[in-house]
Structure 1
């Protein structure tokens, strides 16, 4: 009995899981190789060209002080709504425009520079991890569903759900002390006019640039190197999860999971044919969205609802990328996990709520 308890300890389970994966790779070597090649193809043809420029640009914007400029400008809006400093507004903009995991990368950088506290960082990561508009419109709506008119309702559910998560996360760790940026108070001058917010923002940008001190050539080189290191980690995780999914499929694990998903879908009156989309989406967002688009005959509204869930959940592949980025900080993974799950449920509900208003005309 003691041996069983020892083998089921949380610290031991990852070791046994790894051993199981090794055995499955020995049993299905050809399938594992093909899955690795598929994952590498997705990384090289889709993720690398889509994410690498944004990673480089974000590094440059931080080094040039432009992030600090936006921080001063947006501070009056971000603090009352989301309880994060104005500098987080830049992360929100870049995260929603660039897609996962750019928001988490920027949040980790702000934490490393002591511009945000742990609670503020966890709030930021929770609602800035979203799909980029190009993927949502071009790949999902047009590519997978072959219906561009689906984009408005998908976007409203996905990004609207993200903003709702942001508003809910303002109650996360409400008693934690604010960031140093918020706590710091500049001495008030007894005479003279108060600086305009624009002047304060320009001053903050100039000060940040002086503190960085790197020449632009050195800054660009460091930005490229940092972006390449991050892209290698992202690519490795995509390949690993591609192999894991294929091995589980060969071993029958995917089908067992699909049966459980079918039971849940039947309870909420969603066609069971969409179970494959949910299962694929649990692991990888692209495969899940593609499966949702291909489940014709299940009803377009239900297909869109499952696609919204998959996009908002993000897939365990994205979760692994975020966990890797957060591992160098004191930001916790659990709030992010719960926020992704809640975001998926909210986005699914918003599809049904918005469908008559924004959905495609039959």
Structure 2
């Protein structure tokens, strides 16, 4: 290959990026009112929903890391995470927080583990690929209740989202097979809880910060991250509106309609796919507005797919967070495509059995799904409780599984 080719590719990339930036600036000048209104819309969503929901979890996660609680969990969950996902036990903390709290906390915590050298680059790429997921409040509150006015649909969306996420995690264990791995903890005769407490103490002493200093650092870091998230949300809200006004969406709709037709999906769902490609909330909203003549299974399959894909807005947030480490973005992009494909098709596979069970069984949907907290600052306490208890529940289940695997392995070793 000629040595000039990399230089040429670099020049072409610069030209393309410059053209895109120029197009956006010209569009903003041409449609100032639409850009302003859409930026206010993005700001409102961030301030009313994202900021109050994620800030407490960002701060709490930083404090847990500083006090060594993550190291404690890592020892307990090592027997579960390494065989299944080729990840150290500390990865389970990120998985639980990511599944319960939503985008982009999985990416944030993965980057923090990498910065503390608790995971290798390859393990970070595996972890962020399936730990950065949507939260139950979005799937049940915003999508099922807010857009489709049927909470039972949230059950199907959540099941397919989390099942496909864990399946993706197993698939990604084969990513970078020759990559570096963190060494497993040394086998000791001490009880596993004693070793876990010992590791927690070592981590706290190594950190050395008092509660006040740790709280201040955690708050500063969390607010900076959320400001970045808000900037991306506002910008992509503007970009989507500008592209729509400029007629670009019409061209994209024709392309997506052809692809959906090949896959035997209704072409009426093309606008939902396009909107969801940029921002998942808009994609779900557009899918809910598709005429009732379209089979609901296809609508929910598209919603599941765009939720798993997460939208370019979330991708930009993740890329920005990972840029502070050596974790590459490309494996995450590939994983999102796989996750979207899996979630969409699993939705179609499970649609009949799950919907029939909900509709005809004597079991009603539990209050776990119905009592959704209000959005906005007035519902912040309820939102923290809703998400927090689910994170604790997930961690508890993972800890029990890890201890069971540990005791089974010890029993098998002693019996041989």
Q: What is the TM-score when the length of structure 1 is the normalising length?
A: 0.94
What does the per-residue CA deviation read over 1:105-137, in whole Å, with 9 as the maximum and x for residues that have no partner?
A: 000000000010000000001001110011111
Matched position secondary structure for 2:12: coil
Query: RMSD across aligned C-alpha pairs, in angstroms?
Result: 1.6
Structure 2: tracts of 5 or more residues without a match: 361-416
Structure 1, residues 275-301: CA drift from partner, whole Å, max 9, x if none? 111111000011111111222321110
Task: Say whether 1:262 aligns with 2:228.
Answer: no
Tell whether the 8 Å contact from 1:101 to 1:321 is kept in structure 2 after alignment.
yes
The 5 Å alignment of 1:212-361 reads 212-297=207-292, 298-359=294-355, 361=359
Structure 2 equivalent of residue 199 of structure 1: 194
Cα offset, 1:149, TM superposition:
1.2
Query: Where does the alignment leave 5 or more consecutive residues of structure 1 unmatched?
Result: 189-193
Distance 2:239 2:191 in 1: 55
Runs of 4+ in 1 over 4 A off after TM superposition: 5-8
* Counterpart mapping for 1:126-165 below 5 A: 126-165=129-168
Given that residues 88 and 124 in structure 1 are in contact (C-alpha distance below 8 angstroms), is that contact kept between their aligned partners in structure 2? yes
1:240-289 deviation line (CA, Å, top 9, x unaligned) = 11111111111111111111111111112211111111111000011111
Equivalent-residue separation in structure 1 for 2:99 and 2:9 (angstroms): 44
Query: Number of matched residues?
Result: 351
TM-score (norm 2): 0.82
Whole-angstrom CA distance in 1 between matches of 2:152 and 2:76? 35
CA contact (8 A) 2:249 2:274 kept: yes
> Are residue 176 (structure 1) and residue 179 (structure 2) matched?
yes
Q: Which residue of 2 aligns with 1:191?
A: none
